[in-house]
Structure 1
Amino acid sequence: MDLVFRANRAITPDGGTAADVGVRDGRIVAVAERGRLVGDRVVELAEDEVLLPGLVDTHVHVNDPGRAEWEGFATATRAAAAGGVTTIVDMPLNSLPPTTSVDALEVKRAAARGNAHVDVGFWGGIVPGNLADLRPLHDAGVFGFKCFLIHSGVDEFPHVSSAQLAASLTELRSFDALAIVHAEHPSDVTEPGPDYPGFLASRPHRAEHHAIADLVRVARETGARVHVLHLSSGEALSEVEAAKEEGLRLTAETCPHYLTFVAEEIGDRATQFKCCPPIRDAANRELVWRGLRAGSIDLVVSDHSPCTPELKEGDFATAWGGIASLQLGLSAVWTQARQRGHALTDVVRWMAAGPAELVGLRRKGRIAEGHDADLVVFAPDEAFVVDRAALHHRNPVTPYHGRPLAGVVRQTWLRGKRITGDRPQGRLLSRGDA
C-alpha cells in the first residue's frame, strides 16, 4: 500500500475502534486491526488523536464569480480543509451569474477550476422562468436544485410562488432530482426592527412551520424528493416528523449556529449573529438538539454565507444575513454534542456520512474500503479560543470570535494527500461521481 494510517481510534461505520487504514492510489483499500497493515509510508496518530472521515458540507456559499470579495474558491476551500471538510457543494446564489442555467454553471466551474483545495460540487437553482433549464442542468451534473419560498436576499435569485414550486417539483420528479428548499413563508415575515428582539420577532416560528407544511403538501402531490434547509425552529419539527412517518421522501438539516448560540446572548449591535432563519432562544436550541438526536433532522452543515465586513455593519434591519463558519463547524458541533452525551460517531454521521448520502457521493463520508482516502486527524480533547484573524475565510467576520471550543483539526488528507494550502488539489465533482 502507498500509505497506512495507524490510529488508536478511528471512526468507521462500525463505531470507534483501534485500526489501520490502508490507502492505494488515493482510495481506502483495507481497514484492519491496528498494527496489521504494511505500507510504503505509515502515518501514526498520537495518543490523543482520532481518525475521522473527511466531512462533507453540502451548504456553502462561495460567491465566486461576481462577489469574490465576499469569498472565493481558494479561501473557502482552504478554510474548509482547516476545519476537516474535504468536500463542499456550492450554492447557486450570491455568485454572478447565479447557477440557473448550464451556461452559468460553466462560468462557476471555470472560477473554481484550479482554485479548490478540497473537492467541489454544485447545486443548480430554481427561479421563476427557468423550468426548461432544470433537466439540462441535471444532465450537466448538478447535485439538485435550490429554491426560496421568500426573498433570497439578492434580487437576481427571486423566490418561487406555490404554483411555481409545484411545477418545478413535478418537473424534478420526472428525472428524480432533489429539491432543497429555504422554507420560510413570506406571509408570516414582517419588517425587522434594528435590535435583535425586533429582528427575531420579524421571522417567527410560524414562518418555518407554515412553509414546511406547504412544502410537505406539494411533495405529497408530486412525489418529489425534497430537503428542508437550515431548520432553526424546534416547533416546525412536527411537520418534518409527520412527513417522515407518512413515508414522504423528505429530509432536513440544521447548522452549527442553531446548535450553539441562543438569542438571549446576542446584543443589539452584534450583527455577526444575523442569519435567516434566525438564531432562537435557549429552549428552542434544545428542541433542535432533540430533533437531531431522534433522527428527525438528518444532517448538520454550515450554511457558510460570508460577506465583507462593511455589509455586516449597522443594525439588524440593514446588515447582511449570513454566518461565516466553514472552518469551525466540526469543533462547534463537537463542543455542544459532547456536553449532551453524544459521541464522535454521531458527529461523523451528521456531518460526513449524512451529507454524502444526501447528494449521492458514494465514495465520500466514511472510512471504509472503496471510499476516497479523505481523512482527518482530530484531537477531540484539545481546546482553543477562536481568533477571527487565524481563520482562512476571506473576511474576518464570525460570531465565533472569542468563543472557546473543543476539538482541533491537526491534519486533513484528500485522496491520500495531505492538504497543506500550498497547492490546490481538489477536483470538481458531478452528480453520479461514485
Structure 2
Amino acid sequence: MVHAEGDERAEFDLVVRSRRVVTPEGEGPLAVAVRAGRIAALRPHDAPPPARETVDLGEVALLPGLVDTHVHVNEPGRTHWEGFASATRAAAAGGVTTIVDMPLNALPPTVSVAALEVKRKAAEGQCHVDVGFWGGAIPGNSGELEPLHRAGVFGVKCFLSPSGVDEFPALDRAGLREALRVLAEFDGLMIVHAEDPAVLTDPLGPTYPDFLASRTEEAERRAVEQVIELAAETGARAHIVHVSSASCLEPLRTARRDGVRISAETCPHYLTLTAEEVSGPAYKCCPPIREAANRDALWEGLADGVLMGVVSDHSPSTPDLKVPDFAAAWGGISSLQLGLSAVWTSASARGHGLSAVTRWMAEGPAALVGLPYKGAIRPGADADLVAFDPEAGFTVDAAALHHRNPVSPYHGRALTGVVVRTWLRGRPADLVTPHGRFLTREGIG
C-alpha cells in the first residue's frame, strides 16, 4: 500500500486508488475521491485528482464498509458479555462500518424511549463505527412502538419463542398480530426471531444431535409461515432474522411473489459451518447450524435473492456460559470481526465474486434499514471504505480478536481474505480513537 502526500490546496481530502474497486455497477480500476466525509467523485484509476492524501492500494480491493444490522452489544447491564467499545473495534477490524444494535441482552432492554436513551448514553463516546438501534416488541408494550419509531429506531424486534432472557418475553399469535397492526399504521418494520414454541422441545441429552433435534426445521418454517400470514393480513412490513433452514425459502419466495411485504436474512455461520463438523458448545446458536445439504440450499436462496443479505447475529457471552454441553450452554456465536472473511472464503469457492458479497453484506442490509448513504461506493455516499486483500489468508485465533471474550467456533479455522484498512467517513478507523456517530431512520441522531 503506497501513500502519497498531495497538494494542501487540493479539491479533495483523500483519494483512494485500486484496480479492484467494487461499486454497484461492478468491479474495476477507479480512484475514489473524498471530500468532507463523503464520496465526492469516482475518477479514472490512471488519472486521479490531486488530494491532500492519496492511497494507492494496487491489487488490494476497495469495498464499501459493511452494514451489519444484527449485533447484540449487550451494554449496559451485560457489558461483561460485550460492550460498545469492544464490539465496534471488532466491527471496524472486520470491515464493518455500520452496526444496528439489537434491543435485548442489555439491561434494560430497548422496549421504550426511556430505555433507548439509557442505551444511547451508555454508548456515547465509545463507538469506533456508526451505530443505530432496534427497538423491541414484547407483550404489553404496543403503545411504545410508535414513540420508539419517532425516536429513530430502525424497527422493532420480537421473538415468537423464548428469547433466553426473562426480561424480553416472546409474543404469541395475538400479540404479533397486534404489534404488526400498530406498525402498519406508520409503516414501521418488524423483525422476527421465527421459531414456533409449540414445536420446540427440551434437548433429550447433552450432545449436538440432541440439541439439533430439539429445534427442527419444522419449528422454523411454521413460524415463518405465521409471520407471512399476519403480514399479509395487516399489510405490515416484516423481516425474518437469521434464517437457518432452507425449508423457509419456498414460503418466502411465494409470499414475495404474492406481494407480501416480507424479507429475510441469513448469517455467516449458516453459510460456512455444518452440523457434521460441530465440535463443541462454541457452535451453539438458535436456530441451530444444520447439515451440509441445507447449507448448500441457503447459498442458492442467497444467490436468487430470496435471502436479501448476510449479517452476523453477533451474540456473545462470557466463556463460562458456553459450557459444559449443548443442553446448558448459551446459544450465540461471536463473529462480528470475521464475517467478511468467512463469507468470502466460501463464496469465492462457489464462484461468487466480491460484487455479490458486498451486495449481500453492505447494500442489502443498508436498504433494509433505509440508509441510502451507506453500503455502496457511489458519489454522495458516506466515505466508508474497506481495503480488503482477497488473496491473503490467516488462521483464526479467538484470543486475538477484538470481541470482549475469546470464544469462537472459527478458532483454528483457515480463512481467506484480510481487512487491511478501514475508513469511516473518510477517516481511518484506528481502533484507538472512537469517531462513530449514532444513526436514526432520518439520518444522524
Match of 2:323 in 1: 313
Match of 1:197 in 2: 209
Match of 1:44 in 2: 56
Equivalent of residue 116 in structure 1, options 127, 133, 144: 127
Match of 1:282 in 2: 292
Query: How far apart, in 2, do the equivalents of 1:365 and 1:236 lie?
Result: 27
Secondary structure of 1:251 counterpart: strand
Match of 2:375 in 1: 365
TM-score, normalised on structure 2? 0.96
Q: Which ranges of structure 2 fall in alignment gaps of 5 or more residues? A: 1-11
Match of 1:264 in 2: 276
Residue 114 of structure 1: how far off its partner (Å): 0.2
Query: How far apart, in 2, do the equivalents of 1:353 and 1:35 lie?
Result: 27
Once the two structures are superposed, residues 366-408 of structure 1 have per-residue CA deviations (whole angstroms, 9 ceiling, x without a partner) of: 0000000000000000010000111000000000000000000
Q: Which ranges of structure 1 fall in alignment gaps of 5 or more residues? A: none
Q: Percent identity?
A: 61
Match of 2:3 in 1: none
Query: How far apart, in 2, do the equivalents of 1:122 and 1:255 lie?
Result: 19
Query: 1:351 is aligned with what amino acid?
Result: M
Once the two structures are superposed, residues 197-241 of structure 1 have per-residue CA deviations (whole angstroms, 9 ceiling, x without a partner) of: 000000000001100010000000000000000000011111111
Residue 41 of structure 1: how far off its partner (Å): 1.0
Query: How far apart, in 2, do the equivalents of 1:236 and 1:356 lie?
Result: 23
Determine whether 1:63 maps to 2:63: no
Secondary structure of 1:315 counterpart: coil
Match of 1:207 in 2: 219
Once the two structures are superposed, residues 94-145 of structure 1 have per-residue CA deviations (whole angstroms, 9 ceiling, x without a partner) of: 0000000000000000011100000000000000010110110000000000
Query: How far apart, in 1, do the equivalents of 2:216 and 2:20 lie?
Result: 43
Once the two structures are superposed, residues 266-306 of structure 1 have per-residue CA deviations (whole angstroms, 9 ceiling, x without a partner) of: 13xx0000000000001100011111011110000000000
**1:137-176 map, 5 Å:** 137-176=148-187
**1:28-107 map, 5 Å:** 28-36=39-47, 37-47=49-59, 49-107=60-118
Query: How far apart, in 2, do the equivalents of 1:33 and 1:225 lie?
Result: 41
Equivalent of residue 250 in structure 2, options 232, 238, 241: 238
Query: 1:299 is aligned with what amino acid?
Result: G
Does 239-248 or 298-307 show the bigger shift?
239-248
Residue 313 of structure 1: how far off its partner (Å): 1.1
Query: How far apart, in 2, do the equivalents of 1:188 and 1:264 lie?
Result: 23
Equivalent of residue 424 in structure 1, options 406, 410, 434: 434
Residue 46 of structure 1: how far off its partner (Å): 3.0
Match of 1:248 in 2: 260
Query: 2:372 is aligned with what amino acid?
Result: R
Secondary structure of 2:52 counterpart: coil
**1:312-351 map, 5 Å:** 312-351=322-361
Match of 1:356 in 2: 366
Residue 422 of structure 1: how far off its partner (Å): 1.3
Secondary structure of 1:186 counterpart: coil
Query: How far apart, in 2, do the equivalents of 1:78 and 1:157 lie?
Result: 27
Determine whether 1:220 maps to 2:246: no
Query: How far apart, in 2, do the equivalents of 1:252 and 1:354 lie?
Result: 10
Hey, which bits of structure 1, 4+ residues long, moved more than 6 A? none
Determine whether 1:299 maps to 2:299: no
Residue 356 of structure 1: how far off its partner (Å): 0.3
Query: How far apart, in 1, do the equivalents of 2:140 and 2:408 lie?
Result: 36
Equivalent of residue 125 in structure 1, options 123, 136, 139: 136
Secondary structure of 2:345 counterpart: helix
Query: 1:363 is aligned with what amino acid?
Result: Y
Query: How far apart, in 2, do the equivalents of 1:243 and 1:381 lie?
Result: 39
Contact 2:366–2:375 at 8 Å: present in 1 too? yes
Query: How far apart, in 1, do the equivalents of 2:50 and 2:347 lie?
Result: 35
Match of 2:6 in 1: none
Query: How far apart, in 1, do the equivalents of 2:431 and 2:243 lie?
Result: 33
Secondary structure of 1:366 counterpart: coil
**1:16-27 map, 5 Å:** 16-27=27-38
Does 34-43 or 399-408 show the bigger shift?
34-43
Query: How far apart, in 1, do the equivalents of 2:210 and 2:117 lie?
Result: 41
Residue 35 of structure 1: how far off its partner (Å): 2.7
Query: 1:125 is aligned with what amino acid?
Result: G
Query: How far apart, in 2, do the equivalents of 1:266 and 1:378 lie?
Result: 29
Secondary structure of 1:257 counterpart: helix
TM-score, normalised on structure 1? 0.99
Once the two structures are superposed, residues 351-371 of structure 1 have per-residue CA deviations (whole angstroms, 9 ceiling, x without a partner) of: 000000000011000000000
Secondary structure of 1:4 counterpart: strand
